[in-house]
Amino acid sequence: MDFLRPTTWREALAAKAERPGALPLQGGTDVMVEINFDVRRPEALLDLTGVAELREWSVAGGVCRLGAGVTYATVIDELGGALPGLAQAARTVGSPQIRNRGTVGGNLGAASPAGDSHPPLLAAGAAVEVESRERGIRTIPADAFYLGVKRSALEPDELIRAVRVPVAAGPQYFSKVGTRNAMVIAVCSFALALHPQERRVGTGIGSAAPTPLRAPEAEDFLSGELDWDAGGPSPSGRPAKGLDAGLLRRFGELCAAAAAPIDDVRGTAAYRRHAVAVMARRTLTWAWDDHRGRRAA
Ligand SMILES: Cc1cc2nc3c(=O)[nH]c(=O)nc-3n(C[C@H](O)[C@H](O)[C@H](O)COP(=O)(O)OP(=O)(O)OC[C@H]3O[C@@H](n4cnc5c(N)ncnc54)[C@H](O)[C@@H]3O)c2cc1C
């Protein structure tokens, strides 16, 4: 197996153009497992860890651009304020070792329906920046990126360069069901983002369909029903103003209806649908309390 180690993005694109069969390697936390278990035997590995720019992030015009090699540890340490949903999801990934090596770009590259970055990226309205030497840059909205189980819109000669995520202008929450709290693949997961300036709600569902996906009907319903001008703290344990039990229930039902889960070793389809509805109601309650608190402050 050949080992290619570019040190610039231009070299990386050239290597991918000349060897489309070369498998990109970032943190290696998916790739090395697959190689060790003989699931994959690529003709070459394209090690991107020498391309320094991929490890950088920046904010401009209200959008955070995360290089494909930004690790979960960096997201947690440096981006909790700008990207709270993604940072919450990052905290649930694997163990400290995995969070130090594993990257958001690698999660996108793997495109597993259970990947934890996907729901918050969908809810926030992120877009994936990909590039090839011959065809240049394409920016793919997250909800058009996932095509099937571990299949994405990435072409064989393309690499993921970055992901662009709007800086949070409202509360964001992530919730994950697993058999324990750490080192666990999601049985299912859910992310919610409130976009108060646009009076819009974003959702992301993980591990409950062949791809991560949004719940557009639930988003439209909630965006129209929420009393966005509501303010003041809510008495603890009580539904926040504007969130009556019927609205919460309906939102949960619409999110569950958007999922298309299967029975597998981690859970049944029925359990996943139920859990998606529960997480949708919970994250909405947390986010709405935050929204009202911010307005009251
Ligand atoms: C013990 C353990 C626990 C884990 N726990 C979790 C968890 O809780 N949640 C979770 O979501 N995941 C988990 N994972 C999976 C893995 O850590 C994540 O998917 C991680 O984000 C992969 O990132 P990476 O940088 O290591 O990717 P890599 O393994 O380097 O690459 C992953 C895939 O992306 C492709 N790729 C990488 N970079 C690029 C690029 N720039 N352009 C195009 N393609 C690219 C690779 O070719 C490969 O197909 C776990 C893995 C292990 C081993």
One digit per residue, pLDDT tens: the chain, 297 residues? Answer: 999 999 999 999 999 999 999 999 999 999 999 999 999 999 999 999 999 999 999 999 999 999 999 999 999 999 999 999 999 999 999 999 999 999 999 999 999 999 999 999 999 999 999 999 999 999 999 999 999 999 999 999 999 999 999 999 999 999 999 998 888 899 999 999 999 999 999 999 999 999 999 999 999 999 999 999 876 555 555 555 668 899 999 999 999 999 999 999 999 999 999 999 999 999 999 999 999 988 787
Task: Please tell me what DSSP assigns to residue 71.
Answer: B
Same domain, 154 and 246: no
Please give the distance, rounded to the nearest whole angstrom, from the Cα atom of residue 80 to the centre of ligand 1: 21
Same domain, 185 and 86: no
- For the chain, where are the E strands, in sequence order? 2-4, 22-25, 44-47, 57-60, 63-67, 127-132, 136-141, 146-148, 151-152, 159-166, 172-177, 188-195, 200-206
Same domain, 162 and 241: no
Residue type, 131: E
Same domain, 112 and 244: no
- Confidence (pTM): 0.96
Count of helix runs (H) and strand runs (E) in the chain: 11, 13
DSSP letters spanning 82-146: T-HHHHHHHHTSS-HHHHHH-BHHHHHHHT-TT-SSHHHHHHHT-EEEEEETTTEEEEEEHHHHE
Same domain, 23 and 159: yes
Domain boundary among 166, 191, 208: 166
Range of the domain at 241: 172-296
Same domain, 108 and 229: no
Domain boundary among 166, 184, 209: 166
Same domain, 200 and 130: no
Q: How far apart are CA 168 and CA 31, in angstroms?
A: 31
Same domain, 144 and 196: no
Asked if 210 and 201 touch (Cβ cutoff 8 Å), the reply is no
**Structural domains in the chain (count):** 2
The binding-site residues of ligand 1, defined as CB within 6 angstroms of any ligand atom, are: 23-31, 33, 48, 68, 93-94, 98, 101-103, 105-107, 109-110, 115-116, 154, 159-160, 183
Quick one: which of 259, 121, 255, 116 has its CA closest to 186?
116
Of 11, 48, 98, which is best to mutate to test ligand 1, by the most ligand atoms within 8 angstroms of its C-beta? 98
